[in-house]
């Protein structure tokens, strides 16, 4: 990949949407203009973001710029992982063979169920009174 070329991809999870731009560099990851260690406070969430790079043995080879919106921190981290995995397959299609078995390219379809009319929630019912 030439030094000026960037690869971008989008990842999603629940209501979180992450737009990732991947460019050659030193491994710096910024999320919404903040370093990813500061944005994602726990080690588990940080490892979730780095996992695709570890899978293809390319840690500290790319700078990652992320814009993420919606959802909670965990959904955002998983959306970022999804987007990074997609952009790594754009960099080299051979990476797909390593990333696909890990499940990083699969979009998690689970969403919050909508509230139904005539009920207090998605599945909850109002209390039944016999008399």
**Domain assignment of residue 36, yes or no:** yes
Query: Does residue 2 surpass a pLDDT of 70?
Result: no
Is there a domain that residue 43 lies in?
yes
CA–CA dist 116, 118 (Å, integer) = 6
pTM comes to: 0.89
Confidence check: pLDDT of 126 > 80: yes
pLDDT digits (tens, 9 = 90+) for 66-116: 999 999 999 999 999 999 999 999 999 999 999 999 999 999 999 999 999
State the CATH number of the domain containing residue 83: 3.30.230.10
- Residue 92 sits in which domain range? 6-102
Structural domain contains residue 107:
no
Nearest CA to 61 among 93, 94, 23, 99?
Answer: 23
Average pLDDT (13-37) is 94
* Residue 18 confidence (pLDDT) above 80: yes
Number of domains comprising the chain:
1
Using DSSP, how many helices (H) and how many strands (E) does the chain show? 4, 5
Q: 28-60: per-residue pLDDT in tens? A: 999 999 999 999 999 999 999 999 999 999 999
pLDDT at 131: 85
Q: Is 114 domain-assigned? A: no
The confidence score (pLDDT) of residue 4 equals 57
pLDDT on residue 39: 95
- Tokens linked to 68: 């993420």
Confidence at residue 31, expressed as pLDDT on a 0 to 100 scale: 95
């Amino acid at each position: 990949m030439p030094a000026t070329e960037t690869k971008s991809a989008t990842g999603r999870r629940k209501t979180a949407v992450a737009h990732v731009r991947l460019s050659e560099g030193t491994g710096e990851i910024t999320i919404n203009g903040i370093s990813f260690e500061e944005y994602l406070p726990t080690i588990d969430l940080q490892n979730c973001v780095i996992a695709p790079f570890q899978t293809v043995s390319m840690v500290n080879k790319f700078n990652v710029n992320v814009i993420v919106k919606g959802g909670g921190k965990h959904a955002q981290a998983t959306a970022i992982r999804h987007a990074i995995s997609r952009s790594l397959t754009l960099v080299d299609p051979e990476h797909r063979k390593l990333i696909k078995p890990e499940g990083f390219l699969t979009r998690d379809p689970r969403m919050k169920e909508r509230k139904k009319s005539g009920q207090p929630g998605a599945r909850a019912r109002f209390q039944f009174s016999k008399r």
